[in-house]
Structure 1
Amino acid sequence: MNTNKYFAAFAALGLAFSGAAVAQTAPQPGQPIVPPGTQAVITPNHVQAVGGINGVATAATPGTLGENGMPSIDSAQAGNVAGLTSYCIHKKLSLGTAPRSASRTLAKRPDVQNDQYYSLGGRGLLQTSTNTPFDISTLPKDKQVLVCRDLFKKAQSLNN
């Protein structure tokens, strides 16, 4: 009789753990289903799956930073630069009217408005040549400011 109690307890415990494992892998109600190889970009009224993304690199990811401790912005296209400059302004990593003007002018371009990487930039994710976006928020604050400064310079050159 005691054996049956223990068996029942272990069976119930096993079912509870297996149910928890299933619950973790299933999407939560109201959450989007994101296909493999894409990154979900969620804004207040919109969800966009950005294709060709392989995770997210951080400052701790080996090989992502140059000798100066900064990521390269060379691969960032106009849409990503526009999104990142908006992110920099929102996070107060840049002050003044010139950066705001460069960011707004670039964001108004039709090719930028339809660029899937604009959304990533708005989340602070820098487009890289490896299709693994770099999260600039993982940099020390002084390096974030320098990346934003370089992005504003690139935005101004893209506007010309």
Structure 2
Amino acid sequence: MKRYFLLALIAGSGLTACKSGGKQEASAAQSGDSTATVTTVAQTDTAKVYNAYLSVKDNLVKTDSKGAQQSAKALAANLSNIKGCTEAADLATRIAATDDVKSQRNIFLLLSQDVIPLVKGMKTKSGPVYVAYCPMAGNGKGGYWLSAQKEIKNPYYGDEMLECGEVKEEIK
């Protein structure tokens, strides 16, 4: 019980974090992928945000600016369904509006600051969510992102520094 209280406190404490009303619940299932364990979260509003966020992240890892644009459109639409996530939806829209991957990555850094607390407040029944950190992101100030895999795949640098970073937290 203390853990859920702590997660709720963290989720509500971000200055620009999405603040959603109501209880955040999701269920998760493991896929049969033999190379990595992937968390698939049930399609609640927050889970839809999480899945769309992962798609944006994965496209940035691949340095696929067009894919990131498409994923960001879906993310913006999902964020707009959650009360208090207007700023995050605007950031996702900004990613969708540019095909410059460097700009997309800079905006994604800000977007992650809003989405991470939202996802931390989400309950999953199985499969962890990882909070990863790269000390080089944000001009050396560091930056966090969410991942369904423990293996580091850095969205801020892609192939340039694919494995730069470490898992800082595991959300169960």
Shorter-chain TM band: 0.3 to 0.5
Structure-2-length-normalised TM-score: 0.34
Over alpha carbons, which structure has the higher Rg?
Answer: 1
